[in-house]
Amino acid sequence: MRVYPDIESLRLHARRRIPKAVFEYVDGGSYTEATLRQNRRGLEDIDLVQRVLRDVSDRSQAVELLGHKLPSPLILGPTGLTGFVHPNGEIEALRAANAAGIPYTLCTPSICSVGDLKEAVGTPFWFQIYVMKDKDFTRYLLENAKAAGATVLVITVDVVVNAQRHRDLRNGLAIPLRMTLPTLLDLATKPGWLLRMTQSKRKTFGNYQGYLKEGTGTQSMAAWVAEQYQPLLTPETLGWIRDFWQGPVIIKGVMTPEDAEIAVEFGADGIVVSNHGGRQLDGASSTAAALPAIARAVKGETTILVDSGIRTGADIFRMLALGADACLTGRAQLYGLGAAGRAGVSRAIEILQAELDVAMALTGCRTLEDIGPHCIRHRGQAARKTGSGA
């Protein structure tokens, strides 16, 4: 039995097991990947304040979100092409999340459809949607999600245009994979992945099938969707979606207090402080840097979630201390999926929860309510106070 002590060990094993183009789609960011790096740097520059001589028995990570009590402040966030990392990947990730008692969020450009999840698992899940120019297409996606039992709608608002990802261009990433010589050579080293993918229910975008004409090729489908992102994305253009859904709505992609306040005025039940994991605006600040001001502006008025750069339970602790109510993880779950399928996702969840528990114990926190700004110290600020910073 292979041992995975941390998320990085899952990442390294996933890199060995899946094609380079697929792994780098998961692992990479847009343009120079400056924001991708900044997300990690923003978290790593925050020290935890160790506290001792305290009773830290009977610790609990339990949190109430949107009227539901969860065992920990962790949500599996929306990730595209999950079913290409592992066969039926969305279904397997939902099963892992369900076993852990935490929410799973299905991404619109997923391989398995909302109907596939209902048929295979049947438990409620969250659904993430991009707003499309074709209003009928957006309505089609919403109707299918509601029929499949999705309970929470996550509207991603930071993709009014698609940013370029250089790794994907260099690798010629397409779904299905283009059989170029480099791709064929790479696949020749991944026979296990090829064999596993024969078990996949689908090999294209499941949520798009049924709306486009029968026989539409995957490349044509992807090209059509790429042109559908709505650049006119205002509260007014989102209003009909909120009214149609008639359930909890979360706005994902908020990075300033001003936009957080607009989301609250819109009636959002929650926001996700997110820079899309460094996959959209290259040069944006880290979510760890953006979160405190947003929390000061809207804490208590809406649920505050955050993603981007989270690789450890200590990172979750840092985000909670900065003002988040819970965290979404994207890459961590995909590393687990690529490394060991459903068992790998379950292991990723276990790792993050166990590391959070240790961070709580060693900082003197028994519950999430004990976690706050006093539990962390920004390294740059500490250096300036002591005069040791250059």
Report the catalytic residues: 276
CA distances from 155 to 39, 53, 78, 80 (A): 22, 45, 11, 14
The total of other beta-carbon atoms located within 10 Å of residue 93's CB is 34
The amino acid that residue 103 corresponds to is P
Q: In this structure, are strands 46-48 and 376-378 parallel, antiparallel, or unpaired?
A: antiparallel
